[in-house]
């Protein structure tokens, strides 16, 4: 068996796809160009000379209104959390809890005001911090680095404060440490990623907040609380814990106001909102609708608040705070000043003049940025820039004329007030349209890279299809079709690297990899075209059906058309946002349709019926085979599993009538103790049932008879893993109810039990890799006419004949033949489990992976995993029965319908384990299963969250080789076994028909070719789905829903492809590791 060539070929194909994904992603998800320029007090944006003389010392661009400011960020403070409605008699847990804000706003209407604080998507914390400090719009790709933050190089509010000598003190979320290194006069950072921890960050801030405020050693103080956000992630907003956190925030604000001086501005803001499930990251109304509260002990506003709170974009906070504190506005800001905060205590005209002054400064700053940006980038439309320039020029000209008239006192107050209001409106129009233009245009695409990436992926799909058809064409296939393309790619990579060195340009590894991938693809197709004679190509292009009838041709064509039609329909659905949104129902429907079409095709081909005799044949009567009823039962059970899996769905906000499944929430969220206990017992019972089913299957095929470490682990380690998971579920579901010292023990247990599961699963996988053989063999010497098997003595049942003696391979057969011929006493070998040795290793590996993945999900999702294993079992048996009924003459080739149905099931259970291809649906809690504190690196949490998200991809990819192995494991006799006595030689001949997986070893070249073909078919189907997502994202990149639907779908599909391809390689590698062990076992057997 050629092991390394198969693995290298598949790894090379995966590299081709990875290069295409990376190239397309670099063109589709480009970040906005960040300008290196920064603002300063010497910029020519200062007010006119007659106003500049009135600037107090330490002020830039505008008079400083406050010498100190406190910014309190309550993470995920949705507007409904801050608004107070006294008419509500029975408010929800998150309503009417910040009563102190309402008290300030009603008792001091000119000192305090509440706003709707509109966040720009994506509503992830890091992007919102960037928006709150730079005044610009983070792009979509930045969401990918939300938990691997990079320092902000762009001009920002903190840089301006430090540059102008202000002391900035920070306490709270440690995300700020990565974004603003060495920018703080004093800082108190606390770990932020553990969403299960509601109190560490908040309690740490409260420990330092009031002493720091009283010390006076600060100019700007920022406190970023996380308890509300973490409570939403853990419990959702409608939970008593949310009441506790909001009440704590209310008391904190009450105490904080008592410590503030008259020269201090207080800002209380939410960086984003949250959905009804406590998530965020998207652009739904509840996610972007945060709250902003402004307060000062000196009067801020010239009039009372409006009846309905005003909506303010978050970027507007940056120019407002900068001018209020007397520092320059950051260079790249596109926000608009909140002019009402600059009214002062004068009359309406003086207030309007002050507002006009800050609007003029703000407009000149935005115009300077747009001009600088348009010189280095061409993504802002020229005609819109021209219109904005005209708006700005006319407003500035009128502003100059108006100021001249004010100095000359040629306008009476009513006329002046009207002119001022009109001019302020024109500046507002300019600033808002400028922001709108930037918002629409900052999806910078690189068309050449996008087309190149799409072409690489399409060529890789074609290569998979061609290579799967040519794998068995020649013995030199592996060498020629792998060696030459690799040489082509290596030569191109070296030439590009040398060219970069000689031109002294930076080496772009992505471009080099893409060119190398393209060159190796070209080498493959060039070599295939030259190596494969034209005559053979023409012969291969036409199926050998010229001599058969039309009906037979249609049957052969439909055998490929049905599964490919389902695949093409799924790919076509990627171009519709409605189908993508509803894919949780589309994937199960397509799977059920494919299985039903398979049964229909078998019936149309006449494979389900058998003629009963000449008379019935003449009349056209026929009867159904007995096997069809078993097949129909399997199909019915599969449809039941598909239907039940729909109960574990997650909702998208595009479907407002959808309600998320109750099974997604952890048991700790259940308030009914009896229901919690019942669900707990059900989950543990199903987990134990899974172990019982796996052990029964292994015992049935004789794989639990030896005393090897792996078999002992399956016997005793599996129940121990179940016990640890059950204990973890028990303590995790009651962790919030424990008190005192018991709480400390619970915290230890919540960490210890998952680590016990990690350790046991790791030991099991290591044992599987070291010695994957689960075979028991024993030499025996008996008199002629009897064969003794271990444990059971003389074979006395059909099961023994079917599953024990048939597993004896060639050496054993020769020994038996010689005994029958000579009638002498010979040593024979009875082996248990040899006929299912490959499948047994895969089943053990999948069970261990299933334990780990169930641990990373909430308790009740173990029901979904049980359905996953049951449905996979049904699919394997349907595939086996269908091949048996169809009389497939190619046992070493897995048909397309089996591969496509396997992948449709993987997609189905992506949704049925509570996931959606959107960022708010990611289960961040998985990063802290077994970890009480924050992680020191981002790699481990990324692995845990990725394993949780792509659990179905992992299981189905690792289990993919079962599609090849299962028909051999379930090998049935070609004819019914007759009960009449047979000669010993005839009995032996029948025994030889049931060699199961050992038939694969009779043709090692066919075995390796079959694994290669299966891997290529799997990658082809995965790649075709990925290609559809790539094309949809590229073609619809200006679609209204591109960043809401198509871009997230592309990202999740790409990550799913990477995970699936790696796990596919691991599954095939495990089969080859077992083959090595089997070869060694036979070698040792021959030496006895």
229-243, 574-588, 598-612, 879-893: least confidently modelled range: 598-612
Over range 113-121, report the average pLDDT.
88
CA distances in angstroms from 207 to 203, 216, 268, 932, listed in the order given = 6, 16, 19, 21
Residue 1026 CA to chain centroid, in angstroms? 14
Q: Across 334-348, 471-485, 1012-1026, which has the greatest mean pLDDT?
A: 1012-1026
Parallel, antiparallel, or unpaired for β 827-832 and 112-118? unpaired
Residues 6+ away with beta carbon under 8 Å from 392 = 363, 367, 430
Strand order of the sheet with strand 68-74?
186-190, 168-173, 220-225, 68-74, 264-269, 289-296, 112-118, 311-313
Residues 6+ away with beta carbon under 8 Å from 875 = 638, 898, 901, 902, 905
At 986 the pLDDT is 45
Residues 6+ away with beta carbon under 8 Å from 750 = 728, 731, 732, 735, 932
Over range 583-595, report the average pLDDT.
93
Distance CA(373)–CA(153), nearest Å, equals 16
What digits encode the pLDDT tens for the residues 419-430?
888 888 899 999
At 629 the pLDDT is 80
Q: Say if CB 66 and CB 48 are below 8 A apart.
A: no
Q: Is the pLDDT of residue 128 over 50?
A: yes
CA distances in angstroms from 732 to 201, 278, 680, listed in the order given = 21, 19, 11
Distance CA(403)–CA(405), nearest Å, equals 5
Strand partners, 187: 170
At 789 the pLDDT is 40
Over range 500-512, report the average pLDDT.
70
844 sits in which H/E element? helix 837-855
At 474 the pLDDT is 55
Q: Is the pLDDT of residue 771 over 80?
A: yes
614 confidence band (pLDDT: 50, 70, 90): low
2-11, 276-285, 316-325, 796-805: least confidently modelled range: 796-805
781 confidence band (pLDDT: 50, 70, 90): very low
35-44, 491-500, 511-520: least confidently modelled range: 491-500
Distance CA(646)–CA(663), nearest Å, equals 11
Instruction: Say which DSSP state 84 is in.
Output: -
Distance CA(579)–CA(569), nearest Å, equals 11
324-328, 659-663, 975-979: least confidently modelled range: 975-979
Distance CA(354)–CA(361), nearest Å, equals 11
What is the end-to-end Cα distance of the chain in Å, rounded?
24
At 543 the pLDDT is 45
910 confidence band (pLDDT: 50, 70, 90): very high
Q: Is the pLDDT of residue 449 over 80?
A: yes
Distance CA(492)–CA(506), nearest Å, equals 17
At 537 the pLDDT is 46
What digits encode the pLDDT tens for the residues 868-878?
999 999 999 99
- Among 225, 205, 201, residue whose Cα is nearest residue 213: 205
At 619 the pLDDT is 43
258-272, 363-377, 722-736, 791-805: least confidently modelled range: 791-805
What digits encode the pLDDT tens for the residues 1007-1042?
888 899 999 999 999 999 999 999 998 888 767 677
Residue 80 sits at the vertex; the CA angle it makes with 77 and 85, to the nearest 5 degrees, is 135
Over range 346-359, report the average pLDDT.
81
At 900 the pLDDT is 95
Q: Is the pLDDT of residue 223 over 50?
A: yes
Over range 931-954, report the average pLDDT.
85
Over range 814-825, report the average pLDDT.
50
Count the Cβ atoms, other than its own, within 10 Å of residue 764: 23
How buried is 778 (Cβ within 10 angstroms: 0-12 exposed, 13-18 middle, 19+ buried)? middle
At 992 the pLDDT is 44
Residues 6+ away with beta carbon under 8 Å from 186 = 167, 169, 170, 212, 217, 218
Over range 74-81, report the average pLDDT.
92
Q: Is the pLDDT of residue 984 over 50?
A: no
60 confidence band (pLDDT: 50, 70, 90): confident
At 1068 the pLDDT is 95
What digits encode the pLDDT tens for the residues 681-698?
999 999 999 999 999 999
655 CB-side CA count, 13 A: 18
Count the Cβ atoms, other than its own, within 10 Å of residue 442: 21
Strand partners, 311: 116
State the virtual CA torsion across 662, 665, 671, 672 in degrees, nearest 10: 50
294-303, 489-498, 950-959: least confidently modelled range: 489-498
At 344 the pLDDT is 67
Q: Say if CB 19 and CB 456 are below 8 A apart.
A: yes
Count the Cβ atoms, other than its own, within 10 Å of residue 870: 18
Distance CA(944)–CA(663), nearest Å, equals 21
- Among 140, 161, 148, residue whose Cα is nearest residue 41: 161
At 761 the pLDDT is 95
Residue 487 sits at the vertex; the CA angle it makes with 481 and 488, to the nearest 5 degrees, is 90
Q: What is the 3-state secondary structure (H, E, C) of 422-457?
A: HHHHHHHHHHHHHHHHHHHHCCCCCHHHHHHHHHHH
Average pLDDT, the chain: 81
What digits encode the pLDDT tens for the residues 572-586?
999 988 899 999 999
At 650 the pLDDT is 87
Residues 6+ away with beta carbon under 8 Å from 148 = 938
At 792 the pLDDT is 40
Residue 608 CA to chain centroid, in angstroms? 42
At 610 the pLDDT is 61
Over range 239-257, report the average pLDDT.
92
What digits encode the pLDDT tens for the residues 696-726?
999 988 888 888 899 999 999 999 999 999 9
- Among 213, 219, 216, residue whose Cα is nearest residue 166: 219
Q: Is the pLDDT of residue 443 over 80?
A: no
Over range 464-484, report the average pLDDT.
69
Over range 648-670, report the average pLDDT.
82
What digits encode the pLDDT tens for the residues 165-203?
899 999 998 888 888 888 899 999 988 767 777 888 999
Q: Say if CB 331 and CB 149 are below 8 A apart.
A: no
559 confidence band (pLDDT: 50, 70, 90): low
Instruction: Say which DSSP state 1079 is in.
Output: H
**Share of residues in the chain with pLDDT > 70 (%):** 80
Residue 163 CA to chain centroid, in angstroms? 40
Over range 367-386, report the average pLDDT.
84
Over range 536-542, report the average pLDDT.
45
- Is the peptide bond prior to 598 cis by the omega test (within 30 degrees of 0)? no
Q: Is the pLDDT of residue 831 over 80?
A: no
């Amino acid at each position: 068996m050629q092991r390394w060539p198969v693995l290298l070929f598949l790894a090379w194909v995966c590299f081709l796809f990875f290069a295409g994904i990376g190239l397309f992603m670099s063109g589709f998800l480009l970040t906005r160009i960040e300008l290196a320029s920064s603002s300063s007090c010497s910029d020519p944006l200062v007010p006119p000379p007659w106003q500049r003389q009135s600037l107090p010392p330490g002020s830039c661009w505008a008079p400083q209104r406050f010498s100190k400011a406190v910014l309190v960020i309550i993470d995920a403070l949705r507007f409904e959390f801050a608004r107070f409605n006294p008419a509500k008699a029975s408010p929800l847990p998150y309503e009417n809890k910040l009563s102190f804000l309402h008290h300030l706003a009603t008792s001091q209407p000119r000192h305090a005001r509440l706003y709707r604080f509109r966040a720009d998507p994506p509503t992830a914390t890091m992007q919102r911090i960037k928006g709150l400090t730079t005044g610009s719009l983070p792009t979509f790709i930045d969401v990918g680095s939300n938990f691997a933050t990079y320092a902000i190089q762009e001009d920002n509010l903190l840089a301006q404060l430090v540059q102008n000598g202000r002391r900035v003190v920070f306490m709270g979320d440690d995300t700020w440490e990565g974004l603003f290194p060495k920018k703080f006069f004093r800082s108190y950072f606390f770990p932020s990623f553990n969403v299960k921890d509601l109190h560490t960050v908040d309690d740490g801030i409260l420990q330092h907040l009031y002493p720091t405020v009283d010390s006076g050693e600060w100019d700007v103080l920022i406190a970023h609380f996380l308890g509300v956000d973490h409570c939403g992630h853990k419990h959702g907003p409608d939970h008593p814990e949310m009441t506790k956190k909001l009440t704590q925030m209310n008391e904190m604000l009450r105490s904080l106001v008592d410590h503030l001086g008259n020269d201090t501005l207080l800002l209380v803001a939410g960086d984003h909102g949250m959905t009804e499930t406590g998530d965020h990251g998207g652009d739904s109304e509840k996610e972007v609708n945060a709250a902003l509260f402004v307060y000062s002990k000196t009067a801020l506003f010239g009039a009372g608040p409006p009846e309905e709170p005003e909506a303010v974009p978050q970027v507007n906070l940056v120019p407002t705070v900068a001018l209020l504190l007397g520092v320059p506005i950051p260079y790249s800001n596109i926000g608009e000043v909140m002019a009402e905060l600059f009214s002062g205590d004068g009359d309406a005209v003086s207030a309007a003049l002050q507002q006009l002054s800050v609007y003029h400064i703000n407009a000149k700053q935005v115009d300077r940025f747009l001009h600088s940006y348009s010189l280095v980038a061409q993504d802002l439309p020229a005609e819109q820039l021209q219109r904005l320039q005209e708006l700005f020029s006319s407003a500035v000209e009128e502003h100059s004329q108006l100021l001249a008239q004010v100095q000359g006192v040629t306008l009476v107050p009513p006329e002046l007030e009207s002119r001022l209001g009109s001019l302020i409106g024109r500046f507002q129009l300019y600033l808002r349209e400028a922001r709108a233009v930037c918002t629409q245009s900052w999806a910078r695409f690189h068309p050449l890279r996008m087309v190149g990436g799409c072409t690489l992926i399409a060529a890789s799909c074609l290569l998979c299809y061609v290579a799967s058809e040519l794998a068995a064409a020649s013995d030199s296939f592996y060498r020629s079709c792998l060696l030459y393309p690799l040489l082509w790619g290596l030569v191109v990579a070296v030439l590009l690297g040398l060219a970069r060195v000689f031109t002294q340009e930076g080496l772009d590894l992505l471009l080099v990899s893409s060119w190398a991938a393209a060159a190796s693809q070209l080498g493959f197709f060039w070599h295939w075209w030259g190596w494969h004679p034209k005559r053979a190509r023409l012969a291969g292009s036409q199926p050998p059906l010229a001599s058969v009838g039309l009906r037979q041709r249609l049957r052969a064509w439909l055998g490929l058309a049905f599964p490919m039609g389902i695949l093409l329909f799924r790919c076509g659905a990627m171009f519709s946002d409605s189908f993508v949104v509803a894919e949780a129902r589309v994937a199960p429907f397509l799977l059920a349709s494919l299985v039903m079409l398979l049964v229909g095709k078998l019936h149309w081909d006449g494979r389900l019926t058998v003629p009963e005799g000449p008379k019935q044949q003449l009349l056209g009567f026929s009867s159904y085979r007995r096997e069809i009823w078993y097949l129909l039962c399997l199909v019915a059970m599969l449809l039941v599993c598909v239907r039940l899996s729909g109960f574990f769905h997650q909702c998208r906000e595009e479907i407002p009538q959808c309600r998320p499944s109750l099974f997604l929430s952890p048991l700790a969220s259940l308030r009914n103790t009896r229901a919690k206990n019942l669900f707990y017992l059900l989950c543990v019972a199903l987990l134990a049932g899974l172990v019982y089913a796996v052990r029964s299957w292994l015992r049935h095929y004789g794989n639990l008879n030896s005393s090897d470490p792996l078999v002992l682990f399956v016997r005793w380690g599996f129940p121990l893993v179940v016990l640890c998971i059950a204990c973890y579920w028990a303590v995790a579901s009651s962790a919030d109810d424990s008190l005192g010292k018991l709480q400390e023990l619970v915290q230890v247990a919540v960490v210890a039990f998952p680590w016990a599961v990690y350790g046991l699963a790791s030991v099991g996988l290591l044992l599987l890799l070291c010695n994957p053989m689960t075979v028991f063999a024993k030499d025996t010497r008996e008199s002629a006419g009897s064969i003794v098997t271990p444990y059971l003595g003389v074979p006395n049942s059909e099961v023994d004949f079917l599953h024990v003696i048939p597993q004896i391979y060639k050496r054993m057969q020769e020994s038996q033949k010689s005994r029958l011929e000579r009638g002498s006493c010979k040593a024979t070998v009875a082996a248990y489990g040899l006929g299912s040795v490959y499948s047994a290793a895969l089943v053990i590996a999948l069970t261990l992976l299933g334990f780990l993945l169930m641990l990373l999900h909430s308790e009740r999702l173990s029901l979904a995993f049980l359905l996953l294993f049951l449905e996979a079992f049904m699919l394997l048996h349907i595939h086996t029965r269908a091949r048996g009924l169809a009389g497939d003459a190619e046992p070493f080739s897995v048909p397309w319908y089996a591969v496509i149905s396997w992948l449709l099931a993987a997609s189905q259970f992506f949704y049925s384990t509570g996931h959606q291809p959107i960022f708010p649906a990611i289960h961040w809690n998985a990063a802290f299963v077994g970890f009480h504190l924050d992680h020191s690196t981002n790699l481990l949490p990324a692995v845990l969250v990725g394993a949780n998200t792509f659990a179905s991809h992992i299981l189905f990819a690792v289990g993919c080789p079962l599609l090849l192995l299962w028909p051999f494991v379930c090998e049935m006799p070609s004819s019914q076994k007759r009960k009449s006595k047979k000669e010993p030689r005839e009995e032996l001949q029948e025994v030889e028909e049931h060699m199961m997986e050992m038939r694969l070893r009779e043709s090692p070249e066919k075995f390796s070719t079959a694994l290669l073909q299966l891997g290529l078919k799997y990658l082809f189907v995965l790649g075709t789905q990925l290609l559809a997502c790539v094309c949809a994202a590229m073609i619809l990149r200006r679609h209204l829903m591109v960043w809401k639907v198509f871009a997230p779908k592309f990202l999740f599909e790409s990550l799913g492809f990477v995970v699936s391809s790696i796990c596919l390689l691991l599954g095939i590698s495990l089969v080859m590791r077992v083959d090595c062990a089997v070869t060694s076992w036979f070698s040792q057997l021959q030496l006895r």
